[in-house]
Amino acid sequence: MKIAFLIANGYGMGGTVRTVYNLAEGLAARHEVEIVSLVRRREEPFFDVPEGVVLRALTRTGSEGKGEPPTRLERVADRVSRRRTASLVGGAEARREDFYAPAATRALRRFLKGTDADVVIGTRPGINLLLARWAPRRVLAIGQEHVNLADHSDELRALIARRYPRLDGMTVLTEADRDAYRAFLGAAPGWLTAMPNPLPDRDYPRSTQDNPIIAAAGRMAPVKQYPKLVEAFAVVAGKHPDWRLRVYGGGGKDGALRRRITDLGLSNQVTLMGRVEDLTGELAKAAILAVSSRVEGFGMTIIEGFSVGVPAVSFDCPHGPREIIEDGRDGLLVPDQDVDALATAMLRLVEDRDERLRMGREAVLSAGRYAIGPIVEQWERFIGERSAATGRRRR
């Protein structure tokens, strides 16, 4: 069977890219797998492409600006194309960087028309909507959601309600989001399923719990609420000045965070580590993982922390953390958005190494629930069931 993943920018660094690579790696053991990127912004991808997986791009960023300037007719055609795309994926989604530029959407349509893949899996709402619109009948079209339904705009939810049912199936990351989509779409049994992100099969390092380090990881975006995490860490730092906070992640939206670090006098104790390829290796240097997000689509960082024996302290935010963390066993859940409670929970583990060690051992066991093998088997069953339900023939 040939499986193609459609992704906005498979050459960049981000949670969706990382988890798509992981799943593609697992499926490639028994299937032909390719990752098809709408855009390409760098010569080499940030992450190593898994063995047996083909990565290719439909367009290269900036290529439209080279050569002769566009004619008036071409400019008009591009404006028409952008308006058309906005009507299909929503205005806000259509403006997401250059993912849906006319060259990219034209290339996507050509790809779908000519692909020999048996299964095509979209990985963000705009791509799923275009897949629902343009996928030929011979292709099994699956939408994969990485964001909670409640976090989509009203405009995007209206398009999802109208067009997602044209897909042959859909996966979400949590049981809570499955219930939300099921109620929202009135989905038929079997069409929609919860499929967690998998951990790749690796020989993971293990935290010794000896380093006085609290780690946090994720893109520099308001949803991660790192200024709140720094406020909570200030309580820890006041009582235990030898402890450090390391924040891993890229993106340019870190101005408010840097100001908060300075205002709280924590410049020597909080470090913004930037992007790293081997996140689990970095997390293994820590003793605690902290999660201060407003919402989490899943919480892959929590599982990666678990895999190296690092317990998590997290807001009980929608939806991922509560489905991953067993409070008091492999981590601590605190009331959503309660910064004082987050500080108290971090202090509890900072001051009790034995509890950290116990929770770390349990965290490794919990990580086993997300092993790549069983999740790949879930995907194969789901694809088989949807193929049978739609009358598709798989090779």
**For position 395, what pLDDT does the model report?**
45
Q: Which of 175, 173, 170, 171 is nearest to 196 (CA)?
A: 173
**For position 64, what pLDDT does the model report?**
43
CA atoms within 13 A on the CB side of 258: 8
Convert 173-205 to b/e letters by CB count within 10 Å (16 or more is b). Answer: bbebbbebbeeebebeeebbbbbbbbbbeeebb
**For position 305, what pLDDT does the model report?**
98
> Could you give the CA distance from residue 59 to residue 37 in angstroms, rounded to a whole number?
8
CATH architecture label of 2-200+372-390: 3-Layer(aba) Sandwich (3.40)
Domain boundaries, the chain: 2-200+372-390, 213-369
What is the SS3 assignment for 194? strand
What are 275's two structure tokens? 């992007």
Establish whether domains 2-200+372-390 and 213-369 are of one fold.
yes
Q: Using CA atoms in the order 125, 126, 130, 133, what is the torsion angle rounded to 10 degrees?
A: 60
What are the per-10-residue average pLDDT scores of the chain (395 residues)? 97 90 96 97 92 95 54 73 86 84 93 97 96 95 94 94 96 94 92 95 95 95 94 98 95 85 96 92 98 91 97 93 96 98 98 98 97 96 95 57
Q: Which of 68, 17, 24, 71 is nearest to 50 (CA)?
A: 24
| In the block, residue with structure tokens 């400019």 | 75
pTM beyond 0.85: the answer is yes
213-369: CATH number? 3.40.50.2000
